[in-house]
Amino acid sequence: MFSLEFSDIQQTIWETAKRFAEEVIAPGAIDRDKSGEFPKDILKQVGELGFLGIMVPEEYGGTGLDTVSYVLALKEIAKADASVAIPISVQNSLVDWIFLHYGSDLLKEKYLKHLATGEYIGAYSLSEPDAGSDARMIRTRAEKNGNDWILNGFKNWVSTGHHSDVYVVFAQTNPEIQHKGITAFAIEKDTPGFEPMKKEDKMGMHASDTVSIALTNVKVPNENIIGKVGEGFYIAMKALNGGRIGIAAQSLGIAEAALERSVRYAKERLVMGKPLADHELTQYKLAQMAMKVSAAEMLVLKAAFLRDSGADHIRAASEAKLFASTIANEVAREAVQIHGGYGYTREYVVERLMRDAKVTEIYEGTSEIQNIVIARQILKEID
């Protein structure tokens, strides 16, 4: 059983992230949402705090901490601005993790040390137009040419696609054996033929750029293969287990922000001569919101604890991701309702929270996929 008693280091990370989020990230969140400006300067500071390599050992430039510390920090950042949390989540959960566990010594020196310190920003490129939930169907091809590989294809839904320095790209090296032929490659920005396209015009998360990428005869040296040839699908799925914990932490942050703003507003807003918070219906809404947030927090911390302990956490990660993303949407929607007409305006943060929350049910495995994962695990575990 996991404990809710945090270590001194975990408590310090939590408090540091909370203070930084409130003082540095939150003040410009509305403006970034309107302009879509990528938070480059903020991410530089995040890197200086060690939050872009939280789980990377110190020998590679990281902070050398655990998943619990990571989710505590990410939750606070998402609470202030979920758009800023996206590149932090991708960097830690996916890119850093992949290089740490599957990268050669050369790749760790070449990329991981720079990623962990925040000098580099990383991106994860798996999805394609015809391969979203079913990554086995990717069509981007990689063909051997001497000591190089030549990649051709098209990727989409790449977070931080315009601002990354190195991309983890999955391509098919042997279509005859389907997903067992998928391989992971490290591709640097500005590589000839590697072209990020226009930024997607999204419902929410406006300060996080999401793009498609065209690959036309992109030459990648053999040394930039991550793991082994044909190991890419396995690497991608293993990484997503951690990625789902990150999305769950983001979702929790959004839900906490929606709840707290609703409570403050309900105390200040007068309706029929008394504070909105004194009305029983409002109290019921707040109670339901608080209960859901507390339950999501337990699931997120449980998944993080299991990952840190080395235990199987596939089911826990999916449960945390599914439940936290669901309640993030429910709580944010209820927050808008509590705010009434004001909740529908950009002046009040809950409008942004509601828009930002939606994608948490979609990326890094839709809610439908999480239900399938959970069901399969239950069928294996229970005789």
pLDDT tens for 257-273 read 999 999 999 999 999 99
Mean pLDDT of 327-346: 97
Chain-centre distance of CA 5, in angstroms?
A: 25
Point out the catalytic residue in the list 37, 351, 364, 368: 364
Q: Helix crossing, 82-89 with 232-268: angle to 10°?
A: 160
Burial of 134 (0-12, 13-18, 19+ CB in 10 A): exposed
Cα–Cα distance for residue pair 310/378, rounded to 1 Å: 19
Cα–Cα distance for residue pair 190/177, rounded to 1 Å: 31
Cα–Cα distance for residue pair 38/61, rounded to 1 Å: 24
For the chain, which domains are there?
8-121 (1.10.540.10), 123-230 (2.40.110.10), 233-381 (1.20.140.10)
What are the tens digits of pLDDT across the range 218-255?
999 999 999 999 999 999 999 998 899 999 999 999 99
Planar angle of CA 366, 370, 372, nearest 5 degrees: 115
Q: Which residues contact 48 (CB under 8 A, 6 or more apart)?
A: 118
Cα–Cα distance for residue pair 220/97, rounded to 1 Å: 21
364 is annotated as an active-site residue: yes
Contact (CB, 8 A) for 184 and 225: yes
Q: Can you give the three-state secondary structure of 82-102, one letter per residue?
A: HHHHHHHHHHHHHHHHHHHHH
Mean pLDDT of 295-300: 98
Chain-centre distance of CA 312, in angstroms?
A: 20
Mean pLDDT of 199-211: 96
Mean pLDDT of 117-129: 96
Provide the pLDDT for residue 334.
Answer: 98
Mean pLDDT of 199-220: 96
Cα–Cα distance for residue pair 181/26, rounded to 1 Å: 44
Name the β-bridge partners of 225: 185
Planar angle of CA 197, 111, 113, nearest 5 degrees: 135
**In the 8-state DSSP scheme, what is residue 128?**
B
Cα–Cα distance for residue pair 12/18, rounded to 1 Å: 10
Name the β-bridge partners of 155: 213
Planar angle of CA 53, 54, 57, nearest 5 degrees: 75
Confidence band, pLDDT 50/70/90 cuts, at residue 10: very high
**In the 8-state DSSP scheme, what is residue 203?**
S
Mean pLDDT of 324-344: 98
* 122-125 and 225-226 strand pairing: unpaired
Contacts made by residues 316-319, CB under 8 angstroms, sequence distance 24+: 317/241, 317/242, 317/244, 317/245, 317/248, 318/244, 318/365, 318/370, 318/373, 318/374, 318/377, 319/370, 319/374
Mean pLDDT of 91-107: 97
Q: Does the structure show a pLDDT above 70 at 99?
A: yes
Give the containing element (helix H, strand E) for 123.
Answer: strand 122-125
Q: Does the structure show a pLDDT above 90 at 318?
A: yes
- CA count, 13 A, side-chain hemisphere, 308: 19
Provide the pLDDT for residue 3.
Answer: 54
> What number of helices (H) and strands (E) belong to the chain?
13, 10
Chain-centre distance of CA 15, in angstroms?
A: 21
Site of tokens 């067992």: 180
Give the containing element (helix H, strand E) for 11.
Answer: helix 8-20
pTM over 0.85: yes
